[in-house]
Structure 1
Amino acid sequence: MYLPSHFAESDLNVLHRLMQDHPLSTLVTQTSAGLDVNHIPLILSAGEGEHGVLRGHVARANPVWKDFVATTDALAVFQGADAYISPSWYPTKKENGKAVPTWNYAVVHAGGPMRVIDDAEWLRSLVTRLTTHHEAAMAQPWSVGDAPPDYIDKMIGAIVGIEITITTLVGKWKVSQNQPAQNRTGVVDGLLSGAQPNAAAMAALVAGKKD
């Protein structure tokens, strides 16, 4: 990833927070036929290893767990807030006209060896942890025990676990750091006055609020 130093983010807590807030990863693996890309929700165990451990599951019918090059690291990409940035928001544009559009974004690349786990009890524990985590904010949280045991057994039999021990962790926060203070203020105001889906989240990042 192209990473100018002024866009680099190295704070482990900040990187982990984005991964936890945006758990749907783009998982890139090397296979016998070339690169393979899947979109897999991954849960982070932040306290394990140097950078954390990612765990999730894929459909048994998905060839990714069979056909991947174990000697090549997998890469999980986590996409945070992003937004179009109009040059009309820069006060300096009025002074000299020297401004062009750009796109702001925050992203984390987590790489490491991928391990496959085909074990029913491990998977049951993972699925329980995943649902407990993601259902926590629901008015009536669903739990694994809400479904018939034989149905859950069947569903667990249809998935395979994956685990990535993170050995490389790179963050890029392209949030107008290369602009002077008055332009950053203009970007915040412009974002908050518009209707882009991630406008408020990006405005907070431009203002320096990383979490």
Structure 2
Amino acid sequence: MYTPAHFEAGPDAVQELLTRPGAANLVTITSGGLLATLLPFVYDPSVGEHGALHTHVARNNAQWSEPAIGESLMIVQGADAYISPSWYASKAEHGRVVPTWNYSTAHVYGRLVIHDDPAWIASQVRRLTNVNEAGFDHPWSVDDAPERYISGQLRAIVGLELVIARIEAKTKLSQNRSAADVDGVVAGLSARGATESAADVERARPVRA
């Protein structure tokens, strides 16, 4: 991943990308070529040296049954947003500004492990559900559905575990702009309702002497 020094993601930013509720694109190389699927995941830091990403796919999805050649990749994406040059204070000063795109992302590489075990899959689904339901006033639980129905749903999916070998991460969040330009970006994003992107820019704001 091309990452200029001022956009390098620190440990806290990487942790945020891996632990916030979301989905990632799983990319594998197989004998038939590249395969990719967008999958919700949960991060388990207790696995191996760097942790693992746990997810599942439909049993009919060939990505689990086609053996992966070499490393597999999950592309984790944080909030992203268009940045208008009209938000920069420097536009009025000299006009030498252009549009750009802000984003956070982590490329997570590792060994893909298949789990066709009902107990593992059930545990993964419960963890995934609990993570994503945590913010609801009345969170849904797997136990809210009939046991027989859930059993049938679990038989239709296969568990996947990406045991992490390395992570390349980038947070391109206006760190290369002046404090006044960052103020304008935060205000512009907030006015457009992109509150998550605005918060990311604020957190990444460089500390200047």
Residue of structure 2 in register with 1:111 after alignment: 109
Q: Which runs of 5+ in 2 are unaligned?
A: none
Q: Which runs of 5+ in 1 are unaligned?
A: none
* Shift in Å, 1:112: 0.4
Are 2:19 and 1:3 equivalent residues in the alignment? no
* Shift in Å, 1:58: 0.6
Residue of structure 1 in register with 2:14 after alignment: 15
Residue of structure 2 in register with 1:129 after alignment: 127
Larger deviation, residues 132-141 vs 26-35: 132-141
Of 175, 178, 181, which residue of structure 2 is paired with 1:180? 178
Q: TM-score, normalized by length of structure 2?
A: 0.89
Residue of structure 2 in register with 1:30 after alignment: 29
Residue 162 of structure 1 aligns to which amino acid in structure 2?
L
* Shift in Å, 1:209: 5.0
> Distance in 2 between the 1:132 and 1:208 partners?
26
> Distance in 1 between the 2:61 and 2:143 partners?
26
Residue of structure 1 in register with 2:202 after alignment: 207
> Distance in 2 between the 1:50 and 1:67 partners?
26
**Matched pairs, number:** 205
* Shift in Å, 1:132: 2.8
- Contact 2:173–2:204 (CA<8 Å) still a contact in 1? no
* Shift in Å, 1:14: 2.4
- Contact 1:53–1:166 (CA<8 Å) still a contact in 2? yes
Are 2:89 and 1:91 equivalent residues in the alignment? yes
> How do 1:130-209 and structure 2 match up within 5 A?
130-192=128-190, 194-195=191-192, 197=193, 199-209=194-204
Residue 166 of structure 1 aligns to a residue in which SS? Answer: strand
Larger deviation, residues 113-122 vs 134-143: 134-143
Residue 50 of structure 1 aligns to a residue in which SS? Answer: coil
Residue 203 of structure 2 aligns to a residue in which SS? Answer: coil
Residue by residue over 1:99-131, the C-alpha shift from the partner in whole angstroms, topping out at 9 and shown as x without a partner, is 111111111111101010111121122222222
- Contact 1:22–1:78 (CA<8 Å) still a contact in 2? no
> Distance in 2 between the 1:140 and 1:96 partners?
52
- Contact 2:186–2:202 (CA<8 Å) still a contact in 1? yes
Of 67, 72, 75, which residue of structure 2 is paired with 1:74? 72
- Contact 2:50–2:164 (CA<8 Å) still a contact in 1? yes
> Distance in 1 between the 2:143 and 2:203 partners?
43
> Distance in 1 between the 2:138 and 2:72 partners?
36
> Distance in 2 between the 1:127 and 1:161 partners?
9
Identity %: 43
Residue of structure 1 in register with 2:56 after alignment: 57
Q: TM-score, normalized by length of structure 1?
A: 0.88
